[in-house]
Amino acid sequence: MQTLSEIRELLEARGLSPKRSLGQNFLVDHQHIRALVDASGVKAGDLVLEVGPGTGTMTEELLDRGCRVVACELDDQLSRLVDSRMTERLRHAGFDPASRFRLVHADCLQSKRALNPSLNAAMREMSAAAGSNSGEFHLVANLPYGAATPLLLVLICNHPACRSMSVTVQKELADRLLAVPGSRDYGPIGVVAQLACDVERLAVLPGGCFWPPPDVTSAMIRLVRKPASGAPSLALLQRTSRVAEALFQQRRKQIGAVYRQCRESLGLPTWEELTARSGSLLLGLSPTSRAEQLTPEQFQEIAASAGGEEDNPATEAAVRD
């Protein structure tokens, strides 16, 4: 595994230095890199997505454990560096590099709601080459702070084949993912993450674990997707995400007023109809409540009241693609 001096030498030899604009704070603490990969549970043959590989320190650890890795790097020069180093490393070990590693030089997201198509294609090709029809993969990465929130939301809501996400993120985001109703950190991403996944904080990482040290505290978290029997359908999860986002737009306002403003655009029933259904989690909910007081299950029930497209394999395949 690369040491900090080796990382510095790699960059200096190419006239490079970490770019703050791209969130390049490389995780250099070997103990935490191994702990993150251990916690992910990935094993030989698993398909792993790594976003922001930097100089390839964690990539090496994943490859050494027999994983097949699709790495996505936005930086021009770092993408060439990682691609050449991993290709050479695999050849030296007697492997066909194409069967174990693919570098996608691009932004990981096409938009805030979709993965980059070239990244989707690379993962499909890597999966097919290994004879897998499931397309299942795991995210293991030291995520650039700017990409973390939209990427996790896209994977949670649009890509059921992503079975787990083990990542380092800004501690503030980790707090939001784990937040409970009524807390200041509670919001849309916590609602959908907790409905779809089991979320666990693994560690809090001081700045010294990174080079250069970031100005904020980081955290290591793991999200494991719940079995289908214990989670909302993909279509319902997507609707819940839209409902939560709309209701949290004005989190300090009374929910009844916010609901009336957005209900028609979301295809929801009237407030009176919503809160009068016998046996509902929303029965008698006061319009003077605020969005931050609702549980994830209550947001889900609001979304379910809209009805909408039924889940089916074709729908999920279209979302993944």
Q: Read off the pLDDT of residues 116-162 as tens digits, 9 standing for 90 and up.
A: 999 999 999 999 888 877 889 999 999 999 899 999 999 999 999 99
Q: Is 283 helix (H, G, I), strand (E, B) or coil?
A: coil
Q: What's the pLDDT tens digit per position in 71-107?
A: 999 999 999 999 999 999 999 999 999 999 999 999 9
- DSSP 8-state code for residue 229: G
pTM for the predicted model, two decimal places: 0.93
User: CA of 225: how far to CAs of 117, 195, 232, 319, in Å?
Assistant: 23, 9, 11, 17
Q: Is 243 helix (H, G, I), strand (E, B) or coil?
A: helix
Q: Is 114 helix (H, G, I), strand (E, B) or coil?
A: strand
Joined together, the tokens standing for residue 130 give: 């290994």
What whole-number distance in Å separates Cα of residue 299 and Cα of residue 310? 18
Tens digit of pLDDT per residue, the chain (321 long)? 899 999 999 999 999 999 988 888 999 999 999 999 999 999 999 999 999 999 999 999 999 999 999 999 999 999 999 999 999 999 999 999 999 999 999 999 999 889 999 999 999 999 988 887 788 999 999 999 989 999 999 999 999 999 999 999 999 999 999 999 999 999 999 999 999 999 999 999 999 999 999 999 999 999 999 999 999 999 999 999 999 999 999 988 999 999 999 999 999 999 999 999 888 999 999 999 999 999 999 999 999 998 654 433 333 333 434
> Above pLDDT 70, what percent of the chain?
95
CA 185 to chain centre: 18
Closest C-alpha among 279, 282, 253 to residue 269: 282
